[in-house]
Amino acid sequence: MVFLLAFLFSAPAHAFPEMVRHHYVNCNSCHASPNGGGLLTEYGRGMASEVLSTWNYENESLFLHGAIKPEKIPKAVNVGGDIRVLQVHREDRSVREGRFILMQSQVEAGVTVGPVMAVAAFGKPNRENQIEPEFTRFYLLANATETLQFRAGRILPPFGLNVAQHTVPTRQALGFGYDSERNTLEAHWNGEEWHGAFSASQSRLQSRIGENERAASFQLERFFNDSHRVGLSTWSGESDRQKRWLGSLHGIFGFTKHLYLLSEVVLQSKKMKTPRAEREEGIYHFGRFGYEITKGVHLLALEEFSKSNLKATKTQFVSFGAGALWYPRPHFELELTLNQRKNLQTSREFEDYAYLTLHYYL
Amino acid sequence: MKLILALLLLSLPAVSDAAIPLKATPDKGAVTFLAVGRPSMLKIHGKATGAEGKFTAEASQLKGSAEFEIAKLDTGINLRNEHMKDKYLLVKEHPKAKLTLTDAPLDATFATTLSNAGEKPFKGKLELKGKEQEVDGTFTAKDGLVKANFEIKLTKFGIELPSYLGITVAENVAVAVELPLQKE
């Protein structure tokens, strides 16, 4: 069960915040979404060839590898989509098991009319690796000015670091993992030195969150030397079951063109309403060092830690790992990580995990 | 004796006003620029090794000019470099940029220390893509290392605003020049 929980809820979004080392300080250079992830802009597709991938040929990064000539697609239309699969292997003294998971299988399209863009992603894998005909996210994005954007729809509100690895404690354990898109209204300010965002949202009972949380979030990020991005986020939410407050400090550091670090620490303070209980404080952290040894090939060092109740040792989770990430050509992404994880709720010993993720985007 | 001292003191300004020849070699120093791509505020950093120049420090002014090979500029992305050099700056026809100083004040002690106290304003003329325009900015000088910062408007030099896949470069580009000056 723990195995299932750990991986079924892993998934989507392919934001690359580490691109800040190439001075891409705001996500909307490459993504339609101001939070990053999802539908790529024309420029983002260009950079997939020029900056991200080991090899490429002309126009390879375009939709369907350029099979449809760009001039045949209306300028106002942007089409994409993702297939992401994961093979997980877990091993300890008593168990040795593997599992294949279809994490993402969707088409996504956007239409722009004047300053407004409508985007929707369709197709959602279920626990049996079958695709359900369901919209996973949809939104209207309005560019009020060059720097001010408003967005409304079913999306992930801005909070902390929006990384593709949704299993990390700062995402999944706090309700920002797979299938946690909420009905959200948000505003973004994307400046030369600052990024600010505010959101009001309500989660859905039908989602994996399983409760109706009404929340407000605020995020402020500062760019340093055009290669580092440091931010603070706050979250205040209340559902029928609990009331919680989150505070996050995160950083994306592009030390050189090759060496980078993504790190976040979140503090959660929550009080259960039913059943009534004492206030609980918890801490959640992840760190991901990367080194690009040659264009498109990255070595990774990973660490995660969480303690959902600072007063209860058994709520502690620790993970260390190493791996490699490869973008061989535009549209393709492969990641292999080997991890040692210890979850005191289930075992006092470390367990070995291996993850192989393959991601293909249209 | 007093007369001799007075004569010596009178002769000092003449010594400090004597032109001191200085040179900058391209293997040292640096030329960098920062352009901003809109609407996403993408930062484009261009950098290259330094400029070659001949200057004189005379009459409390730094005079002279430095030339810089534009082909050396690197923005970190090959395609962007190609576009910058071949499409916008036309490097083959105009391979060099030249900065000529018209007003760069020096402290009286510069002749001996090659240093200025604090930051000072300067004026000059920049020749880029075959067009010459006046520029002004600030500069510092410490132990012979001159650092100048100024801003250029691309369209003033007949440079079309670079645009690529929805990102357009803002008209104002910040330029920084580091010139390590040596006495000749």
Q: Express each pLDDT in B121-132 by its tens digit.
A: 999 999 999 999
Q: What is the least distance, in Å, from the CA of B63 to any CA of chain A? A: 33
Q: What is the least distance, in Å, from the CA of A156 to any CA of chain B? A: 20
Q: Where are the alpha helices (DSSP H) in A253-308?
A: none
CB proximity under 8 Å: A 216-235 to B: 226
- Name the residue among B14, B35, B39, B53 with its Cα closest to residue B173: B35
Query: Of the candidates A26, A46, A257, which has its C-beta nearest B40's C-beta?
Result: A26
For an interface test with A, the pick among B40, B45, B84, B167 (most A C-beta atoms closer than 10 Å) comes out as: B40
Q: What is the per-residue pLDDT for A2? A: 44
B45:A191 CB<8 A = no
pLDDT per position as a tens digit, B55-69: 999 889 999 999 999
For an interface test with B, the pick among A226, A228, A257 (most B C-beta atoms closer than 10 Å) comes out as: A226
pLDDT values of chain A reduced to their tens digit, one per residue, 362 residues: 444 444 443 444 446 788 888 888 888 889 999 998 899 999 999 999 999 999 999 889 999 999 988 888 898 999 999 999 999 999 988 889 999 999 999 999 999 999 999 999 999 999 899 999 999 999 999 999 999 999 999 999 999 998 888 889 999 899 998 889 999 999 999 999 999 999 999 998 877 777 899 999 999 999 999 999 999 999 999 999 999 999 999 999 999 999 999 999 999 999 998 777 889 999 999 999 999 999 999 999 999 999 999 999 999 999 999 999 999 999 999 999 999 999 998 888 999 999 999 999 99
Confidence of residue B17 (pLDDT cuts 50, 70, 90): low
Task: State whether residue B3 is helix, strand or coil.
Answer: helix
Q: What is the least distance, in Å, from the CA of A356 to any CA of chain B? A: 30
Task: Kindly state the helix (H) or strand (E) to which residue B140 belongs, with its residue range.
Answer: strand B131-142
Residue B134, judged by CB atoms within 10 A of its CB (0-12, 13-18, 19+), counts as exposed
Mean of the pLDDT values across residues B96-112? 94
Contacts of B34 in chain A (CB under 8 A): 226
Backbone phi, then psi, for A93, in 5-degree steps?
-60, -35
Query: Of the candidates A43, A143, A190, which has its C-beta nearest B166's C-beta?
Result: A43
Q: What is the per-residue pLDDT for B3? A: 53
Residue B15 confidence (pLDDT) above 50: no
Beta strands in chain A (DSSP E): 77-91, 96-113, 116-125, 131-143, 148-155, 182-190, 194-202, 214-224, 228-238, 242-254, 259-272, 280-294, 297-307, 316-326, 332-343, 351-361
Give the type of residue at A232.
Answer: L
Distance CA A211, CA B44 (A): 44
Q: What is the per-residue pLDDT for B184? A: 86
Neighbour-count burial for B16-35, b at 16+ CB within 10 Å, e otherwise: beeebebbbebeebebebbb
Task: Kindly state the helix (H) or strand (E) to which residue B15 belongs, with its residue range.
Answer: helix B2-16
Mean of the pLDDT values across residues B140-147? 95
Q: What length is written for chain A? A: 362
Please spell the DSSP secondary structure of B70-117, one letter per residue.
Answer: GGG-B-S-HHHHHIIIIIIS-TTT--EEEEEEEE-B--TTHHHH---S
Mean of the pLDDT values across residues B76-102? 94
Mean of the pLDDT values across residues B170-177? 96
What ipTM was assigned to the predicted interfaces of this complex? Answer: 0.80
Quick one: what percent of chain B has pLDDT higher than 90? 78
Residue B168 confidence (pLDDT) above 50: yes
Angle at A244 between CA A238 and CA A246, to 5 degrees: 125
Q: Does the beta carbon of B36 lie under 8 angstroms from any beta carbon of chain A? A: yes
Please spell the DSSP secondary structure of A202-254, one letter per residue.
Answer: E--TTSTT-S--EEEEEEEEEEETTTEEEEEEEEEEE-SSEEEEEEEEEEEEE
Chain CA centroid to CA A176, Å = 8
Task: Kindly state the helix (H) or strand (E) to which residue A350 belongs, with its residue range.
Answer: none
Cβ B96 vs Cβ B67: under 8 Å: yes
Distance CA A296, CA A343 (A): 33
Who's near B38: CB < 8 A, 6+ residues apart? A146, B167, B168, B169, B170
Q: What is the per-residue pLDDT for A10? A: 41
- Name the residue among A311, A333, A320 with its Cα closest to residue A287: A320
Q: Does the beta carbon of B47 lie under 8 angstroms from any beta carbon of chain A? A: no
Who's near A61: CB < 8 A, 6+ residues apart? A45, A46, A48, A49, A53, A330, A331
List the beta bridge partners of residue A101.
A86
